[in-house]
């Protein structure tokens, strides 16, 4: 495997850009430090619930996470997650609640990463990605996989411990490959999943299986989903994708065959697009490109040579 070196990758990928937050993992087991950090007047807190948080649109056109000092935050017994510290020394926490709090001024609105990820600053997007990933894991892994006992939160939300057998459980991240496949004519292979709306096309993707390298996963997934064989594979970049717990590993791949045979189970339709084909299809509304928040859009843009048109 080689690494893609196009300078277009210098532009940060949404949800993967440097956030300016030091996660300060060495403080997660220091209860005295965490208590002092929580009580500090500069500390900022936001609530996450069901993958959403409150965001606010400012008069100057920005979108921000709604954060409050810790003394204004709603109470919670255990679900308080330390996310890190910025360069000014401000500490950030997320609170997991069953619902988002109301706002007296009625100006805030609930939003998830799909809606607000591309609108938030790199700092706010990074904080929300971290909080949503922890919330998803906490909700789905409350019991010990060894003995079945209910586990307890530790390390400021980053560990669950079993009081019965002593096992420690850590947040799970599932590696997945996502790839822009090109043929000898430099056309791009895009597919439409069975459950997607008519016209929605994107790159192929799939999870890495046990005992498999990421390069092998690229080759296998393209063959399984579209019947196309792949030779050279080039790594481009990665993106956290907490829906609920994936890490997307982006690739450019070179096809060694062009005949398409979709599996009919995951992929309903797949087509080769030239740049002119794709531009015309998007502008006419025949093709709906992937959301700008996804690394899929970036992979297509790297091949396309510029930002995708919007129909």
Q: Which residue has the tokens 């791949």?
A: 253
For residue 74, name the pLDDT band (cuts at 50, 70, 90): confident
CA distance 304 to 281: 14
Residue 119 forms part of a structural domain: yes
Q: How far is CA 307 from CA 67, 292, 310, in A?
A: 33, 10, 9
pLDDT of residue 105: 60
Domain that holds residue 293: 172-302
Tokens of 103: 């706002």
pTM: 0.92
Last residue of a domain, one of 167, 193, 218: 167
Together in a domain, 128 and 177: no
Tokens of 262: 């979709």
CA distance 224 to 65: 41
Last residue of a domain, one of 167, 194, 221: 167
How many domains does the chain fold into? Answer: 2
CA dihedral 24, 29, 30, 34 (to 10 degrees): 70
Task: Read off the CATH number of the domain in which 38 is found.
Answer: 3.90.79.20
CA distance 169 to 159: 6
CB 53 within 8 A of CB 65: yes
Q: Which residue has the tokens 């619902």?
A: 99
Percent of the chain with pLDDT over 90: 85
Last residue of a domain, one of 167, 200, 229: 167
pLDDT tens digits along 174-228: 999 999 999 999 999 999 999 999 999 999 999 999 999 999 999 999 999 999 9
* Cis geometry, peptide bond prior to residue 130 (ω within 30 degrees of 0): no
């Amino acid at each position: 495997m080689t690494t893609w070196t196009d300078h277009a990758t210098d532009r940060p990928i949404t949800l993967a850009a440097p956030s300016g937050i030091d996660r300060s993992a060495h403080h997660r087991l220091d209860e005295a430090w965490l208590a002092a950090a929580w009580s500090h007047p500069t500390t900022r807190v936001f609530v996450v619930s069901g993958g959403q948080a409150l965001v606010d649109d400012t008069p100057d056109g920005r979108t921000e996470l709604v954060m409050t000092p810790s003394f204004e935050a709603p109470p919670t017994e255990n679900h308080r997650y330390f996310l890190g510290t910025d360069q000014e020394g401000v500490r950030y926490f997320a609170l997991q609640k069953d619902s988002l709090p109301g706002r007296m001024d009625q100006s805030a609105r609930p939003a998830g990463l799909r809606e607000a990820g591309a609108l938030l600053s790199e700092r706010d997007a990074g904080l929300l990605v971290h909080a949503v990933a922890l919330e998803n894991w906490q909700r789905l892994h409350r019991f010990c996989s060894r003995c079945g006992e209910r586990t307890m939160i530790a390390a400021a939300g980053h560990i669950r411990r079993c009081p019965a057998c002593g096992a420690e459980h850590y947040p799970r991240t599932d590696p997945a490959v996502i790839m822009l496949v090109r043929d000898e004519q430099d056309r791009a292979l895009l597919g439409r999943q069975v459950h997607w709306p008519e016209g929605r096309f994107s790159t192929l993707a799939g999870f890495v299986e046990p005992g498999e390298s990421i390069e092998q996963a690229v080759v296998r997934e393209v063959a399984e989903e579209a019947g196309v064989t792949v030779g050279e594979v080039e790594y481009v970049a990665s993106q956290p994708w907490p829906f609920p717990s994936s890490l997307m590993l982006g690739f450019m791949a070179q096809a060694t065959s062009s005949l398409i045979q979709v599996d009919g189970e995951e992929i309903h339709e797949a087509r080769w697009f030239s740049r002119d084909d794709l531009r015309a299809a998007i502008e006419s509304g025949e093709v709906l490109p992937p959301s700008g928040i996804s690394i899929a859009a970036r992979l297509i843009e790297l091949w396309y040579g510029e930002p995708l048109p919007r129909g």
